[in-house]
Amino acid sequence: MSQRSLIVSAIVVNVVVAAVSFLLFGWNGIGAHVAARWTARFSVLIFIVAFAQPGLARFIASVPSYATLFHTFVAAHCVHFAAVLIVLFLDSGNHFRKSPGAATATIVVGFSLVIASGITAGLRASPMYRAIHAFTAYFLFAIFMLAFGRHHFVPLRALAVLLVVALVLRITGVLQGARSTAVGA
């Protein structure tokens, strides 16, 4: 599958997730909250695969490139951000309206982290871009771990387990790549 079709597929699937949420729960605050939650969960699944790509590439020859998977995650997560904006408009009792400054800061910081991780994912030439990408990727990892590691709905804690597996795969893949680069040098 090409990079473009993978990214478009992620967007389409996450839009369908949001649409089904609205169909099942209505075009109201409840439907918007469900859409925001489920679009986030879908994009986290893509993040897990993207984050684990350095290790997965050792076992699966046809896994897409790291940059492609990270761009796919960013695209899916942008659909989530759109769902969050719909929550702001449809749910008059949400906590964002009670504290608009904190809500704006949260959305801007989160969106900036996601976009920065996507922009810097394919730019391996510069050490600065690599550092920015590493910071944003691990920061997003930490946010997702905090969100799912102690989730009140216990089955969703499985996402935290998958995140840990992705971290192990990532670290082993990166270390293996560093070792083979040193051996080949």
Whether 32 and 68 have beta carbons less than 8 Å apart is answered as no
pLDDT tens, residue by residue, 4-56: 999 999 999 999 999 999 999 999 999 999 999 999 999 999 999 999 999 99
The string of pLDDT tens digits covering residues 44-62 is: 999 999 999 999 998 998 9
Q: What pLDDT, in 10s, does the model give residues 163-173?
A: 999 999 999 99
- Find out whether 127 and 146 touch, Cβ atoms under 8 Å: no
Mind listing the pLDDT tens digit for each residue in 69-117? 999 999 999 999 999 989 988 877 766 667 777 777 888 999 999 999 9
Lowest mean pLDDT among 23-37, 112-126, 134-148: 112-126
Tokens of 118: 């996507």
Confidence label for 180 from pLDDT (cuts 50, 70 and 90): low
pTM of structure: 0.91
- Confidence at residue 97, expressed as pLDDT on a 0 to 100 scale: 67
As a whole-number percent, the residues of the chain with pLDDT over 90 amount to 70
In terms of DSSP H, where are the helices of the chain?
Answer: 3-25, 29-59, 66-90, 95-98, 100-121, 127-149, 158-184
- Mean of the per-residue pLDDT values of the chain: 90
What integer pLDDT is reported at residue 41 of this predicted model? 96
Q: Could you give the number of structural domains in the chain?
A: 1
Cα gap 38→102, rounded to integer Å: 23
Residue 185 in this model has a pLDDT that exceeds 50: no
Which structural domain, as residue segments, surrounds residue 102?
Answer: 3-184
CA distance 177 to 171: 10
Residue 178: pLDDT above 80? no
Q: What is the pLDDT of residue 179?
A: 58
**163: which 2 tokens?**
């995140």
